[in-house]
Chains A and B, each alone.
Chain A
Amino acid sequence: MDLAGLDTALLGGAVGGLAMAALLPLLSLVVPGPPTPLRHTLPRALGVLACLAAAALGARGLAGGSGASIECWPGFPGQPFTLGPDALAAPFLLLFGLVGAASIAITRDAREGAGGRTRLALHAGFAAMLFVVFATRHALLFLFAWEGMTLLSALLVAADPRSARARTAAFTYLALSHLGAACIALALFTLSAHASSFRFDALAQSYAALPAADAVRLAWLFTFGFAVKLGLVPLHIWLPLAHPEAPAPVSALLSGVMVKAGLYGLLRFVWQMPGAPPEHWGTVMLVLGIASALVGALYAVVESDAKRLLAWSTIKHAGLLAVGAGLAAQLAAAGQPVVAGIALAATLYHAIGHGLAKSLAFLAVGEAVHAAGTRSLEHMGGLARRLPRTGLAALIATLALCALPPLSCFAGEWLLFQALILGYSAGAGQLRLLAPFAAAGLALASALAVAAMVKLHGIGFLGRARSEGAATALEPPRDVTTVLLAASVLPLAWGLAAPWSVAALGLPLSALLPGFDVHTLQGLRGLTLQPALLQANSISPLAAAVLVALFALIAALWLRGGTGLRALRRSPSWSGGAPLEARMQYSALGFTKPLRLIFEPVLRGERELEVLEEGSPYFARRVRFRTSMPALLERLLFAPIVQSVLWVSEQARRLQTGSLHLYLAYLLATLVALLLWGR
């Protein structure tokens, strides 16, 4: 059977389908007509099918597909634009396809008038750009898609034009992203000027031919540019602003997939370049990764906006990815390719595991937010009972994001920890110093993330409804919950099948580390994850899950037997004799008060208490209480930069006096200067 044709068909179908899904809603804006079901179903269906084709393409790539490619001539000099995913792109395409399909399938935009149709067009266009970023092998097309991805998602972030918060978010996002994109563009153009070609393989050759100092400079440019997308501290400040402002299905793509485009860029343009990554790159990534993990987890704990909490948690997981990549680079440099392979396998596995879990979290929480009419955890509550299916999906996502076995984030963290232990024993210089701190930092970050996720689900979904909106929330329609439940299977399956999932990443891993055999990570015919270097330590999420389920079942049957299968009784909660009110529950703010107090020296929370009406000397009748977490990094690091930019532009304005004579003098001066310079 000829599968090359299949690959090409999948590739073409994915691009074409996404393009159609983006253009059809626009067309229906232009061509007036009655809103037929076809009009809003067709673009969505096309988008979902195209995403599934992309996922299939990714899966084929992981299985060693034939490497289909499509070329098209853009009409200006240079090589034709090439779309042809290779082994490294395959896992990212798989992730993109699965998340993208769920994200487009769940969106309600198509039914909501002209604004909704525009949003659907932007949504599908954004997905198409993401696909091209992963699929292209042409630097110019990569840059176009990279930029398109940023611009279209910024439009979606600013989708609500009345919200000042959304405008600020979109502006910060655009400013930082363009700084990053400028670095990437500079580096790519430098390389392609040397290579006189835009093809990735030619770029790698010209990188090898560069003088060492220049090559190192380019590698750092790439690192800066992609670290912005990955959301590493201190370039993360846009992420918790922008990700939550977009509609939830788009947030799922942003946090689940686009952040991984940063990792993809780092791996492709820093790791895969000959002779790269440069010295100290691993150390820098490791340190930034731990910092990001801690900052993300800590701010997730103190956040009470449900979607922003998830965005902070994305920073934590992006930190883990950076730790994995940095660790792998250090180990590879120290001549430990096998251990480096473990770290890299952890990185790739976790990139997908986190992508699946985080997008599910955004989709489910987004539905809950929609139903309750608020994003604040303080006004949610009781939703797991009112929206059982959405609640179940949210529960699976939160448990997965706590890195609990057997879900999708656990095995990645386990592999990372194994690599840390092995790296420490291998005793590579700085790693000996850093590994213990990395282990402790990751442990603290994981424990904090657990607190944050328990807060998200426990305060947002359990207990009593904390507002009118939450008390009257309705389960979303059947097709939406079906998508949610289907998407909840993914993190579960990726985690349960961890040894096989890691083995499936063999091709991209050996593309990154030639000679690395992923099967050294498997034991017992694939049932367990077992790095060959260590003695007998293995885990099997599947076996552990079976054991837990088995014993839970036995316990349930046995304990129920004692009461003769008597059904349980429901009764109102008892609260010390007083009638229970929703306000008596722990609030999201109160829930993390102990952690906030313990980390007060770092967080520097601000609170303000004003007594409005004195009842008696001891009890105020009405108070106004306000508390906030200042954005310390913005204040300490970015504010001075913004100030100095403003100062410079203030000075530059003096040149523009409005006097024609002065402008003519500028012309003359420039002319003379050019003549002198060109002499």
Chain B
Amino acid sequence: MMLDVALVIFQSLALVALAPLWGGVVAALKARMQMRRGAPITQRYRDLLKLTGKETVLSEDASPLARVAPYLVLGAAVAICTWTPVITTHAGLGFAGDLMMTVALFAAMRVLLALLALEAGTPFGGMAASRHLALSALAEPALMLSVFTLALVAHSTDLAAISRAVASSHDAWISPSHLLAATAMGLVVISETGRLPVDNPTTHLELTMIHEGLMLDVSGRHLAALEWAASVRQLLLLTLLANLFLPWGIALEPTPGALLFAFAIWLAKLGVFAVAVALLESVTARMRLFRVPEFLGMAFLLSLLALTSDSLLR
């Protein structure tokens, strides 16, 4: 019991505390690849700290929702952390939420962000919210079909159960359906976290941005909450990709050695993702907005193929 509580707290803390670091690492790696010196990897923490000290300005047109929504978004992100398997598939708070609850809470964060963007009544907020909702509407079917494929393998939609089922079978991960679903999920994660080639996370040109544009009218501690929530969400999606589709090394039983090993493996996987993202972002350009449906259509097709091959090969 004590161990369970400790594990939940440790896993959630790890996700919440390390979230800004991952973005910093990717930015630093990208800078190196592009022969720049770049900011230190702790830059995101400094940004957050600076934001919390700044005055919070709210638009005169904003409704009371604007004062609550940033914290609710962050709260939802942290709540998902409590049942996400990071280093162990030992239950955690899995009773409260499963994969679908996770997807739904991500949707809730999206809705609140989009509403928040419309609060100030400026054109850029509307633009970003409109595009964000359109793209995530297309990502949703692909995501759901990947979830479906996973749930079929594990006979459950519980995150820890899926992770355990894939980790403990010898060949589940090598089946075509699993690989196809993993690829589809990868594409969805790219789109949902706003990385290139779907969205440029470093842009400062209003007309081209989606995820940054949502927060243009937010400032101070509200912005800090939203920035932090966005990075936690990004790390959560990557952790889900790592621990549901490639769960090697995750601790099936909570022994100290296995937990330490799992923690190291998790960090290593995140490092690999960071290198991959940095590499991808250095060599690709951002897609035209109306090419993105094709990109997400491919994700949908892959996940459909995953499901078909599952039913054919079983």
Seen from chain A, the residues whose Cβ lies within 8 Å of a Cβ on chain B are 381-382, 384-385, 388, 391-392, 395, 399, 402-405, 410, 414, 417-418, 420-421, 424-425, 432, 436, 439-444, 446-448, 450-451, 453-454, 457-459, 461-464, 523-524, 527-528, 530, 534-540, 543-544, 547-556, 559-560, 562-563, 566, 568-576, 580, 582, 584-586, 590-595, 597-598
Q: How far is the CA of A539 from the CA of B119 in the complex (A)?
A: 32
Q: Which one, A384, A432, A534, A595, contacts B63 given CB within 8 A? A: A384
Known A554-B75, A580-B121; further 18 A-B contacts with Cβ < 8 A: A391-B63, A404-B104, A405-B104, A414-B104, A432-B311, A443-B141, A444-B137, A458-B118, A461-B63, A462-B119, A543-B95, A547-B75, A547-B79, A552-B68, A575-B124, A586-B127, A594-B131, A598-B290
Q: How far is the CA of A461 from the CA of B93 in the complex (A)?
A: 37
Please tell me if B259 contacts chain A, counting CB pairs below 8 Å: no
25 contacts between A and B (CB under 8 A): A384-B64, A391-B63, A403-B104, A414-B101, A440-B300, A444-B140, A454-B133, A459-B118, A528-B96, A536-B158, A544-B79, A547-B78, A551-B79, A552-B75, A559-B71, A570-B60, A573-B61, A573-B217, A574-B122, A580-B122, A585-B122, A586-B127, A591-B130, A594-B134, A598-B293
Shortest beta-carbon distance from A414 to chain B in Å: 6
Shortest beta-carbon distance from A422 to chain B in Å: 9
Shortest beta-carbon distance from A393 to chain B in Å: 13
Taking a contact as CB atoms under 8 Å apart, the answer to whether B65 and A395 are in contact is: yes
Taking a contact as CB atoms under 8 Å apart, the answer to whether A414 and B100 are in contact is: yes
Taking a contact as CB atoms under 8 Å apart, the answer to whether B76 and A548 are in contact is: yes
Taking a contact as CB atoms under 8 Å apart, the answer to whether A586 and B60 are in contact is: no
Interface residues as binary, B106-132 with A (CB distance below 8 Å gives 1, 0 otherwise): 011011001101111111111101110
Contact flag A458-B53 (CB < 8 Å), given A395-B65, A440-B145, A586-B126: no
Q: Which one, B63, B98, B143, contacts A539 given CB within 8 A? A: B98
Q: How far is the CA of A2 from the CA of B305 in the complex (A)?
A: 62
Taking a contact as CB atoms under 8 Å apart, the answer to whether B59 and A598 are in contact is: no
Task: Give the chain B neighbours of A462 by CB distance below 8 A.
Answer: 61-63, 65, 115, 118-119, 121
Please tell me if B220 contacts chain A, counting CB pairs below 8 Å: yes
Task: Give the chain B neighbours of A553 by CB distance below 8 A.
Answer: 71, 75
Task: Give the chain A neighbours of B98 by CB distance below 8 A.
Answer: 537-539
Q: How far is the CA of A454 from the CA of B107 in the complex (A)?
A: 12
Taking a contact as CB atoms under 8 Å apart, the answer to whether A538 and B94 are in contact is: yes
Taking a contact as CB atoms under 8 Å apart, the answer to whether B311 and A568 are in contact is: no
Q: How far is the CA of A256 from the CA of B253 in the complex (A)?
A: 49
Which of B146-154, B262-270, B273-281 touches A?
B146-154
Q: How far is the CA of A170 from the CA of B185 in the complex (A)?
A: 48
Task: Give the chain B neighbours of A534 by CB distance below 8 A.
Answer: 155-157
Taking a contact as CB atoms under 8 Å apart, the answer to whether A421 and B101 are in contact is: no
Taking a contact as CB atoms under 8 Å apart, the answer to whether A562 and B61 are in contact is: no
Shortest beta-carbon distance from A531 to chain B in Å: 10
Please tell me if B88 contacts chain A, counting CB pairs below 8 Å: no
Q: Which one, B107, B122, B145, contacts A450 given CB within 8 A? A: B107
Q: Which one, A444, A527, A570, A586, contacts B95 given CB within 8 A? A: A527
Taking a contact as CB atoms under 8 Å apart, the answer to whether B130 and A594 are in contact is: yes
Contact flag A424-B137 (CB < 8 Å), given A458-B115, A563-B221: no
Please tell me if B138 contacts chain A, counting CB pairs below 8 Å: yes
Taking a contact as CB atoms under 8 Å apart, the answer to whether B56 and A575 are in contact is: no
Residue of B nearest to A552 (CB): B75
Taking a contact as CB atoms under 8 Å apart, the answer to whether B63 and A385 are in contact is: yes
8 A Cβ contacts from B180-210 to A: 206
Shortest beta-carbon distance from A455 to chain B in Å: 8
Contact flag A585-B55 (CB < 8 Å), given A527-B95, A551-B79, A573-B121: no
Taking a contact as CB atoms under 8 Å apart, the answer to whether A552 and B93 are in contact is: no
Interface residues as binary, B75-109 with A (CB distance below 8 Å gives 1, 0 otherwise): 11011001000000001011111101100110110
Task: Give the chain A neighbours of B308 by CB distance below 8 A.
Answer: 436
Task: Give the chain B neighbours of A595 by CB distance below 8 A.
Answer: 133-134, 137
Taking a contact as CB atoms under 8 Å apart, the answer to whether A464 and B221 are in contact is: no
Shortest beta-carbon distance from B48 to chain A in Å: 9
Taking a contact as CB atoms under 8 Å apart, the answer to whether A548 and B72 are in contact is: yes
Q: Which of A418, A534, A559 has the most CB of B within 10 A?
A: A559
Task: Give the chain A neighbours of B115 by CB distance below 8 A.
Answer: 454, 457-458, 462
Please tell me if B57 contacts chain A, counting CB pairs below 8 Å: yes
Please tell me if B242 contacts chain A, counting CB pairs below 8 Å: no
Task: Give the chain A neighbours of B144 by CB distance below 8 A.
Answer: 439-440, 442-443
Q: Which of A448, A562, A573, A584 has the most CB of B within 10 A?
A: A573
Please tell me if B235 contacts chain A, counting CB pairs below 8 Å: no
Shortest beta-carbon distance from A24 to chain B in Å: 40
Please tell me if B240 contacts chain A, counting CB pairs below 8 Å: no
CB-CB nearest 5 A-B residue pairs: A586-B126, A552-B75, A443-B144, A562-B52, A463-B121
Task: Give the chain A neighbours of B95 by CB distance below 8 A.
Answer: 523-524, 527-528, 530, 538, 540, 543
Shortest beta-carbon distance from A385 to chain B in Å: 5
Q: Which of A448, A534, A539 has the most CB of B within 10 A?
A: A539
Residue of B nearest to A593 (CB): B130
Please tell me if B251 contacts chain A, counting CB pairs below 8 Å: no
Taking a contact as CB atoms under 8 Å apart, the answer to whether B137 and A448 are in contact is: yes
Contact flag A555-B225 (CB < 8 Å), given A405-B105, A454-B129: yes
Please tell me if B136 contacts chain A, counting CB pairs below 8 Å: yes
Task: Give the chain B neighbours of A524 by CB distance below 8 A.
Answer: 95
Task: Give the chain A neighbours of B104 by CB distance below 8 A.
Answer: 403-405, 410, 414
8 A Cβ contacts from B210-262 to A: 217, 220-221, 224-225
Q: Which of B82, B120, B127, B143 has the most CB of A within 10 A?
A: B120
Q: Which one, A528, A552, A586, contacts B71 given CB within 8 A? A: A552
Please tell me if B307 contacts chain A, counting CB pairs below 8 Å: yes
Task: Give the chain B neighbours of A391 by CB distance below 8 A.
Answer: 63
Task: Give the chain A neighbours of B152 by CB distance below 8 A.
Answer: 421, 424-425
Shortest beta-carbon distance from B213 to chain A in Å: 11
Task: Give the chain B neighbours of A592 by CB distance below 8 A.
Answer: 130, 134
Shortest beta-carbon distance from B147 to chain A in Å: 8
Q: How far is the CA of A598 from the CA of B279 in the complex (A)?
A: 30
Contact flag A559-B52 (CB < 8 Å), given A464-B121, A572-B60: yes
Shortest beta-carbon distance from B239 to chain A in Å: 17
Q: How far is the CA of A436 from the CA of B152 in the complex (A)?
A: 11
Please tell me if B27 contacts chain A, counting CB pairs below 8 Å: no
Shortest beta-carbon distance from A574 to chain B in Å: 7
Interface residues as binary, B271-295 with A (CB distance below 8 Å gives 1, 0 otherwise): 0000000000000000001100100
Task: Give the chain B neighbours of A424 by CB distance below 8 A.
Answer: 148, 152
Shortest beta-carbon distance from A440 to chain B in Å: 4
Shortest beta-carbon distance from B100 to chain A in Å: 6
Taking a contact as CB atoms under 8 Å apart, the answer to whether A450 and B311 are in contact is: no
Taking a contact as CB atoms under 8 Å apart, the answer to whether B96 and A439 are in contact is: no
Residue of B nearest to A459 (CB): B118
Shortest beta-carbon distance from A452 to chain B in Å: 9
Task: Give the chain B neighbours of A395 by CB distance below 8 A.
Answer: 65
Taking a contact as CB atoms under 8 Å apart, the answer to whether A421 and B121 are in contact is: no
Q: Which one, B53, B117, B135, contacts A563 given CB within 8 A? A: B53
Task: Give the chain A neighbours of B93 by CB distance below 8 A.
Answer: 543, 547
Please tell me if B160 contacts chain A, counting CB pairs below 8 Å: yes
Taking a contact as CB atoms under 8 Å apart, the answer to whether A539 and B161 are in contact is: no
Q: Which of A399, A534, A593 has the most CB of B within 10 A?
A: A534
Taking a contact as CB atoms under 8 Å apart, the answer to whether B60 and A573 are in contact is: yes
Shortest beta-carbon distance from B180 to chain A in Å: 13
Task: Give the chain B neighbours of A598 by CB distance below 8 A.
Answer: 134, 138, 290, 293
Please tell me if B26 contacts chain A, counting CB pairs below 8 Å: no
Q: How far is the CA of A417 from the CA of B151 in the complex (A)?
A: 11
Taking a contact as CB atoms under 8 Å apart, the answer to whether B123 and A444 are in contact is: no
Contact flag A454-B94 (CB < 8 Å), given A436-B145, A534-B157: no
Taking a contact as CB atoms under 8 Å apart, the answer to whether B304 and A440 are in contact is: yes
Task: Give the chain A neighbours of B220 by CB distance below 8 A.
Answer: 563, 568
Taking a contact as CB atoms under 8 Å apart, the answer to whether B60 and A418 are in contact is: no
Taking a contact as CB atoms under 8 Å apart, the answer to whether A559 and B129 are in contact is: no
Q: How far is the CA of A450 from the CA of B138 in the complex (A)?
A: 12
Q: How far is the CA of A107 from the CA of B109 in the complex (A)?
A: 35
